[in-house]
Amino acid sequence: MTVFAVNGRILIVGATGFIGRYVAEASLSFGHPTYLLIRCISTAASKCKAITSLQEKGAIAISGSINDKEFLENVLRENKIDVVISVVGGDSILNQITLIDAIKAVGTVKRFLPSEFGHDIDRANPVEPGLTMYNEKRKVRRLIEESGIPYSYICCNSIAAWPYYDNTHPSDVLPPMDQFHIYGDGSVKAYFVAGIDIGTFTMKIIDDARTINKCIHFRPSANCLSVNELAKLWEKKIERVLPRVTITEEDLLSLAKENIIPESIVASFTHDIFIKGCQINFPIDGVKDLEASSLYPNIHFRTISECFDEFVAKIVVLPSKCLEDNVPAAKIVDQPNERFDEFVAKIVDQPIDTVAKIAEKPMSDIISRRTTTTCA
């Protein structure tokens, strides 16, 4: 049983963000008329490029403000929007209140997905400053429930990548090439989900009557891993053993207390996940809370092993480009390791002595650099 026709019209708010791009791509691939609410003021070049790419695939971009209720009502009415998906960032959570008011006023939206796409914020309890963000998300939840708007909460847990405690988008960065940071004793498990799967399952959820007014959790059993298990898997992929450095609970709490945004927020979430076990310390009751694998047993979650294979492929591309451009780029290892040098030499098809000369900084430093410009 479906809630609306398979070509139901979807409005996505925040489509240029990390999760938003996957949701927008999935909406288009599922054949939905897809509308993007965008703002193009002082936007990074990468976001402009993302908008253009989505438009070329059929998305319709609408420029405007999420804080303009009358404008939002007109967008919803004129485009006959069936589903609204918000994927706004942490600094815009409370801006969704105006969006909720507009949806309620129009009265024709069949489903609203607020900006969640992480932990179950009614169960997780991070320290500050992460707690403030969760309190704002809780406020949005309560307003949705009071309004009577049909909703679904997406709790997709962690992104399938190395969980850096000081990086807001770890999936943009290779797993460690020099040493692992292990949180506590490294034994607490979490669920890891690929971005493309977040988009795919979201599209299934919005078209499923079973998920109305439910919290849907992404818990692929194959991707329930501890940091220790992630480290061993990555070592297997790169054929090298890396040293471990323990990041204690006190270390994470200290960074969180510094209140440096966004690093302290990420540290507070890392503490909640890998010290307190916020993703695994409660059962799914099958009534108010549903699990995506059970709802859609025929859809395959990409494994963390498959995601790590993609990172290994990046190691092939980046050193090769550095050699091609004849510029310093990234030292693959910080300490000599003949076995790993042979591995890199093999994948970039270059002599070992050539690989050994590739620049002077850790690869993670190079990959994490960002260049931004503004939209014209």
Domains of the chain: 10-155+194-219+283-302 (3.40.50.720), 307-363 (no CATH)
Q: Are 153 and 114 in contact (CB under 8 A)?
A: yes
Paired with 36 in beta bridges are 12, 61
Give the closest residue to 254 by CA, choosing from 135, 128, 170, 158. 128
Q: Could you tell me which residues are beta bridge partners of residue 4?
A: none
The residue count for the chain:
376
Poorest-pLDDT segment among 37-41, 69-73, 213-217, 245-249: 37-41
**Average pLDDT in the 278-306 region?**
97
pLDDT at 90 over 80: yes
- What is the per-residue pLDDT for 375? 32
Q: Give the residue, 359 or 13, on which the prediction is more confident.
A: 13
Identify which of 168, 139, 125, 126 has the alpha carbon closest to the alpha carbon of residue 257: 126
Q: Answer for the pair 47, 16: CB distance below 8 angstroms, yes or no.
A: yes
Number of CB atoms found within 10 A of residue 325's CB: 9
Please give the Cα distance from 288 to 200 (Å, whole number).
22
- Identify the pLDDT of residue 334: 35
Mean pLDDT confidence for 19-27: 97
Pairing mode, strands 10-13 and 83-86 = parallel
- pLDDT tens digits, 142-200: 999 999 999 999 999 999 999 998 766 666 788 999 999 999 999 999 999 999 999 99
Place of tokens 């993703």: 279
Token code pair at residue 55: 């438009």
- The confidence score (pLDDT) of residue 80 equals 98
The residue that leads in pLDDT, 224 or 372, is 224
pTM of this structure = 0.83
Question: Comparing 361 with 104, which gets the higher pLDDT?
Answer: 104
* Mean pLDDT of the region 246-264: 96
- Of 364, 246, 222, which Cα lies nearest the Cα of 306? 222
What pLDDT score does 48 carry? 87
* % the chain with pLDDT above 70: 80
Output 364 or 141, whichever has higher pLDDT: 141
Q: Assess whether pLDDT exceeds 50 at residue 136.
A: yes
47-66, pLDDT tens digit by residue?
A: 888 899 999 999 999 999 99
Catalytic pick from 47, 137, 214, 331? 137
pLDDT for the residue numbered 324: 52
Rounded to the nearest integer, the mean pLDDT of the chain is 86
CA 44 to chain centre: 18
Model pLDDT, residue 45: 77
**Higher pLDDT among residues 328 and 82, named by residue:** 82
Comparison of pLDDT for 20 and 329, the residue scoring more? 20
pLDDT tens by residue, 305-358: 999 999 998 886 555 454 455 443 333 333 334 444 454 454 444 444 444 444
137 is known as an active-site residue: yes
Is-contact 90 265, C-beta < 8 A? yes
Q: What is the 3-state secondary structure (H, E, C) of the chain?
A: CCCCCCCCCEEEECCCCHHHHHHHHHHHHCCCCEEEEECCCCCCHHHHHHHHHHHHCCCEEEECCCCCHHHHHHHHHHCCCCEEEECCCHHHHHHHHHHHHHHHHHCCCCEEECCCCCCCCCCCCCCCCHHHHHHHHHHHHHHHHHHCCCEEEEECCEECCCCCCCCCCHHHCCCCCCCEEEECCCCCEEEEECHHHHHHHHHHHHCCHHHCCEEEECCCHHHEEEHHHHHHHHHHHHCCCCCEEEECHHHHHHHHHCCCCCHHHHHHHHHHHHCCCCCCCCCCCCCCEEEHHHHCCCCCCCCHHHHHHHHHHHHHHHHHHHHHHCCCCCECCCCCCHHHHHHHHHHHCCCHHHHCCCCCCEHHHHHCCCCCCCCC
Q: 242 vs 120, 179, 223, 236, CA distance in Å?
A: 33, 5, 22, 11
